[in-house]
Structure 1
């Protein structure tokens, strides 16, 4: 009787354990980021693990900045210099693949590390053009000849102490037009503003921070001498951005973003005599960009 009882207990618990082993486990639920906005309809998929890239164009605005020039026979600073961008007018040239990098463009490639966070690398190709002529205050000195070999400075020679000076093109032209290049790494956050019932179309609010290198191609003429210099790492930049990302489909999107930034350029090429002539400046800017992209 005792042996029979043991056998029945073994069979009972053995079947129970087997039944538990074959119970199907629930499928893991995608961790969808919590939006700071209250949406009636939520996404039913996660963006984690997606890649994206986009291309588009920008307009930019520059705060007044000081430009410091230094070399043999001169050391002076132009204060509160005004400048503007140089967008290419809308034309069929935008459709010419050989001219694709001529306008002020933006390119970015990134990866979603979480449903609502991504990291990316990109290239903001802006253009910076100093207004000429303009009157600015000047500190420092300019000898009658500067650099080596000597460049005559004419009526601009003298000592300046916050002195107003009308800067004309026979003294200086100064541009970062090929361009004012910001190569950066950014981290972005996304919060859904609206999701369509199909969940294929949505509107997302994007914010982000970035840091990177400034690699301008500076076109400078100082007292008539200079060149369109080759690209060089001239300094660094930091930026913050906010914008709207409209997902036309689950993959294709149209995005408009405003970015503000600070750049420190300590090694600007000027006359082409890079071992002796140089300039430096800090630039604060605002940029608005519109891009078309794809996420996969």
Structure 2
């Protein structure tokens, strides 16, 4: 009887120890959020392994840039050219599925490789329009007849060494409005600033860096010769961003971010004679975007 009692106590104690170990292991293995801000409440789940998708719209601002035009019998540069974006007015095109890509838009798909890091691919559809008319400095040469079409340049023919000219439509129109497209890959980091007691609603700081290809569709007319060109890989860009991501619920969020970018367009189509005529420029920009997204 004594041996039976000892065996019973040993089994009972062993089960309790095993249950305690399982409970402790479960607690230790519970995924938790990571943040530099150490908010009062923390998420009791990890986002590692989640995907996300978002869509939204942007406004952009461009720094002044030099644009170099090259082709048969001409090679000139316009310096410190000013430009603006072309934001569509708020109308039904933002909701009409057949017109949804008309405004300046952003689309992105990402994957959380860790709770607070993700990698994503996206398309930033911005628009760039050179201010016309405007006074700029010019260097280089313009022949009396240029391009394979031997277009007459009239009084603009000559050699320039920094003189100021007034660029009008009769000389040039130049825009990337279909658009100034940035196809990119980004690495993002997330830090929770505030988390609701339930854990599903939160405010998160997002930072990131990226790089990719510039794929503009440029409409350019040089001394009247030109067209709305086809999409082409014209250069590359790099960017950095910072923004706030508000999780309305665990799987739905609103986000506003500001992106700082630098691009180098080495071959931009102009007159339509792609093998002969081209433009090149470096554009720095600031882009502000607002999106709605889902995480799953």
Q: TM-score range by the shorter chain?
A: over 0.9
| Aligned residue runs from structure 1 range 157-176, under 5 A | 157-176=157-176
8 Å CA contact 2:72, 2:147 repeated in 1: yes
Paired position in structure 2 for 1:187: 187
Partner of 1:74: 74
| Counterpart for residue 293 of structure 1 | 293
How much has 1:154 moved relative to structure 2?
0.8
Q: Secondary structure at the match of 1:99?
A: coil
2:46 and 2:192 map into 1 onto residues whose CA distance is 12
Equivalents in 2 of 1:202, 1:166: separation in Å?
53
2:18 corresponds in structure 1 to 23
Alignment correspondent of 1:115: 115
Q: Distance in 2 between matches of 1:61 and 1:257?
A: 14
Q: Deviations over 1:94-119 (max 9, x none)?
A: 11100010000000000000000000
Q: What corresponds to 2:32 in structure 1?
A: 32
Listed as ranges, the matches of 1:130-149 within 5 Å are: 130-149=130-149
Q: 1:29, CA displacement in angstroms?
A: 2.0
Could you tell me which residue of structure 2 aligns to residue 206 of structure 1?
Answer: 206
Aligned partner of residue 29 in structure 2, secondary structure: coil
The Cα RMSD (Å) is 1.8
- Aligned mates of 2:77, 2:220 — CA distance in 1: 15
Match of 2:282 in 1: 282
**5+ unaligned residues in a row in structure 1: which ranges?**
1-7
Tell me the alpha carbon deviations over residues 44-97 of structure 1, each in whole angstroms, 9 at most, x when there is no partner. Answer: 110000000000000000000000000100000000000000000001221110
Per-residue CA deviations over 1:116-165 (Å, capped at 9, x if unaligned) read 00000000000000000000000000000001121111111110001101
Superposed CA offset, 1:21-47 (max 9, x none): x93532252443431113111111100
Q: Distance in 1 between matches of 2:30 and 2:163?
A: 65
TM-score (norm 2): 0.92
Query: Is the partner of 2:98 in helix, strand or coil?
Result: helix
Match of 2:260 in 1: 260
C-alpha contact (below 8 Å) 2:119/2:186 kept by paired residues: yes
Deviates more, 1:23-32 or 1:158-167: 23-32
Q: Secondary structure at the residue paired with 2:94?
A: helix
SS where residue 18 of structure 2 aligns? coil
Determine the structure 2 residue equivalent to 1:4: none
Contiguous gaps of at least 5 residues in structure 2: none
Return structure 1 stretches of 4+ with deviation > 6 angstroms: none
- Aligned residue for 1:170, secondary structure, equals coil
Output the CA distance in 1 between the equivalents of 2:224 and 2:64. 24
